[in-house]
Amino acid sequence: MPKYTEVLPSSFRFNSKETVDSVFSKLLIANLFKDQTFKAGVTFTDKYNERGGQIYMRKLGKVEASQTKTTDADGLKFKHTNTQDTLVLIQKLDRISVSEECYDLVENLRASGKSVDKVSEVIESFKEKCQMLYTSYLLAEPAAEDAVGVGGATRSANTTADTTLEALTKSILEDRKQIRVNGGKANVLIISPDMENLFLESASKAANAFIPETNEEMLKEGKIGRLYGLNVFTSNLIGSGTPLGVGSAAKNTGNAAKCEYIIYDKDAFGIAGDIETLRLKDAIDFTGCYAQIEGVFGGGVANPALAYAKIVGEEVSAKA
């Protein structure tokens, strides 16, 4: 057990003689967390979620229509087909939990009164971890064609870091075009704070293509506008940089740190999850309780043809 060293608050004297009392404010300096970018129905779908540990979704094979000439000998006959479907699997493999000790004795002896809402802190920490988990689903390796489980977004062919708005816009449009070529339509664009800076620094160059968001509530949730029909969100869940201080949002690592943007159809990105516990549980070895929450989750991109992520410096296969 580490040795505890008492550090007392310092005091000072007015006029070098009179000692001034020290008091503790009821207010706290709030912690900073990751953006709550992923919301059901806005940036992902929860329509695949069912009560169970794993969920199979049927993916239909494409029915082939035939074209004949009416003057051919068999031109008026049907060509029969029987197309098989395949199964796509989401497994709830990931559990997130928090259990915070809440001591009645400590709270009762605070001269300033109760100043910490432990339940609120537990929930915010849980939500942050969920957002980071959802990001990892979106940035996981894309699923192979014959894979059963879901994977992440297809990788953008462009892996060079963008330093100008023109380069960023060109890259986004290329991936948007590929989704259209695939037969889909993208409606969500998530960009890193670095990429947001390119928009802010060169706002005039975006001209009428970028429509800024003016709704205060939407701005608080990270939506900054629309670009070529895409709802644009800025998020510190992706991008480089080192947060300052232990009370700041967690640092991005791996693909999340190297990701500039993700463009996709929100209905292609599915999250299946259940929050099983949110409670205050009486403690048995001290006077107080535990503030607890837990949930199980799974998710990924159901159709990788509808989602692209740009990861700087990552090698991309010819298939992508």
Distance of CA 116 to the CA centre of its chain: 27
Q: Are 266 and 43 in contact (CB under 8 A)?
A: yes
Distance of CA 66 to the CA centre of its chain: 43
Instruction: Report phi then psi at 225, rounded to 5.
Output: 155, -160
Tell me how long the chain is: 320
- Per the structure, the complete domain to which residue 209 belongs is given by 54-59+82-311
β-strand pairing of 230-234 with 188-191: parallel
Please tell me the distance from the alpha carbon of residue 110 to that of residue 208, in angstroms, as a whole number: 56
* Contacts for 292 with CB less than 8 Å, ≥ 6 apart: 97, 98, 99, 100, 122, 277, 278, 279, 280, 281
In this prediction the pTM is: 0.86
Comparing 90-99, 189-198, 206-215, 246-255, the range with the smallest average pLDDT is 206-215
* Contacts for 17 with CB less than 8 Å, ≥ 6 apart: none
Q: Are 298 and 274 in contact (CB under 8 A)?
A: no
Q: Domain tally for the chain?
A: 1
- The domain that holds 168 is classified in CATH as 3.90.1690
Q: Quick one: tokens of 23?
A: 């008091």
Please tell me the distance from the alpha carbon of residue 7 to that of residue 260, in angstroms, as a whole number: 44
Q: Are 313 and 159 in contact (CB under 8 A)?
A: yes
For tokens 């895409």, name the residue. 230
* 3 state DSSP class of 194: helix
Amino acid found at 236: N
Q: Is residue 48 part of a domain?
A: no
Residue range 21-77, pLDDT digits in tens: 877 777 777 788 899 999 999 999 998 888 888 888 887 777 888 888 888 888 888
Q: Is residue 22 part of a domain?
A: no
Q: Is residue 29 part of a domain?
A: no
Whether the predicted pLDDT of 135 surpasses 90: yes
262 bridge partner residues: 190, 309
Whether the predicted pLDDT of 116 surpasses 70: no
Of the two residues 149 and 203, the one the predictor is more confident about is 149
Q: Is residue 307 part of a domain?
A: yes
First to last CA, the chain: 52
Please tell me the distance from the alpha carbon of residue 243 to that of residue 257, in angstroms, as a whole number: 12
Q: Quick one: tokens of 286?
A: 């001290």
Residue 318: the pLDDT is 45
* 3 state DSSP class of 26: coil
CB atoms < 10 A from the CB of 271, how many?
A: 23
Q: Is residue 154 part of a domain?
A: yes
Q: Is residue 7 part of a domain?
A: no
For tokens 């990861």, name the residue. 311
Q: Is residue 15 part of a domain?
A: no
Q: Are 64 and 160 in contact (CB under 8 A)?
A: no
Q: Is residue 172 part of a domain?
A: yes
β-strand pairing of 307-311 with 154-155: parallel
What are the distances in angstroms from CA 260 to CA 109, 134, 158, 293, 306?
Answer: 49, 16, 11, 32, 18
Q: Are 151 and 257 in contact (CB under 8 A)?
A: no
Residue range 183-232, pLDDT digits in tens: 999 999 999 999 988 887 776 666 667 777 777 777 777 888 888 889 99
